[in-house]
Amino acid sequence: MVLLGTPSVQLFNVYPRLGALLQLHRPVLRKIEEVRAILRTLLGARQSPTPGEGLAHSYVDALIQQGQDTGPDGLFAEADVMACVLDMVMAGTETTSSTLQWAALLMGKHPSVQSRVQEELDRVLGPGRCPRPEDQRALPYTNAVLHEVQRFITLLPHVPRCTGADTLLGGYLLPKGTPVVPLLSSVLLDKTQWATPRQFNPEHFLDADGRFVRPEAFLPFSAGRRVCVGESLARTELFLLFAGLLQSFSLRPPPGLSPAGLNTVPAPAFTMRPPAQVLCAVPRPQGC
């Protein structure tokens, strides 16, 4: 993902013929092939489940089982399984890990917000009980903070698309096959949709009574038919990891640095990654 955000790759995206001539995309392809090699080893080491044995124990097991049921000419041949797993790894791990890094950084920078999240977690969950997916409704402030993290960081503001048919947009004709780059930050940071769009403010997702609300302008996973297929999984995963982290630790700047001194200017990459810096995780007695 770091390579995908380099100026050379961006030049390749804008001027593909020039990029192909200069071989600007080669480092990215090499890294993808390295990931493929690792995945081939992991897939080969898995014991194939018995066809029709019942529920699969993992995503990979489900893919393999589908391949056994449909045969080598079906939709779940070996190459298809590899493509699905590669999508999961590349689209699911980087986005989740970067969002959690941002969440940790923003909690260190906004200690009052962090304290309020921890107070809610302690009150609702009690000592020693780990958060569960069904706890989200009982934790409106925690949920609001996590949504505000995703809005504020605009992790993937410019994922390219391509028109599948001739399209008329704003009086302009976009012929079939036209590359289109939707700018999600134009919505996530729109001053007509958010009270303080350039500030980290969890109140964007709370009503006057402190209940969680989700405005229509919240679109970090994009919209329409090409919305992120892993949205529901990502939401649950982020909630469990974020709530569990703040239940067990308090996040603070290193000695000698104030919260205001933490840097929140994104590092250049395909995703808007947080800049590398140090945080201190102080254990809390209420951890699960």
Per the annotation, binding residues for heme are 228
- Residues tagged in the binding site annotation: 228
Assign residue 180 a region (left: φ > 0; alpha: ψ between -120 and 50; beta: otherwise).
Answer: beta
135 touches 124 (CB < 8 A): yes
CA atoms within 13 A on the CB side of 113: 21
> Can you tell me whether residue 13 is helix, strand or coil?
helix
Euclidean distance between CA atoms 14 and 10, whole angstroms: 6
Euclidean distance between CA atoms 152 and 214, whole angstroms: 14
* DSSP code of residue 288: -
Query: Which residue spans within the chain are E strands per DSSP?
Result: 161-162, 167-169, 172-174, 179-180, 249-252, 280-283
Please provide the size of the chain in residues. 288
273 touches 1 (CB < 8 A): yes
The pair of three-digit structure tokens given for residue 39, joined into one six-digit string: 């995945």
Euclidean distance between CA atoms 96 and 146, whole angstroms: 12
> Can you tell me whether residue 161 is helix, strand or coil?
strand
Do the strands 280-283 and 172-174 form a parallel or antiparallel pair, or are they unpaired? Answer: unpaired
Single out the residue of 61, 92, 128 nearest to residue 232, CA to CA: 92
Instruction: Specify the DSSP element, H or E, that contains 215.
Output: none
Q: Which amino acid is at 213?
A: V
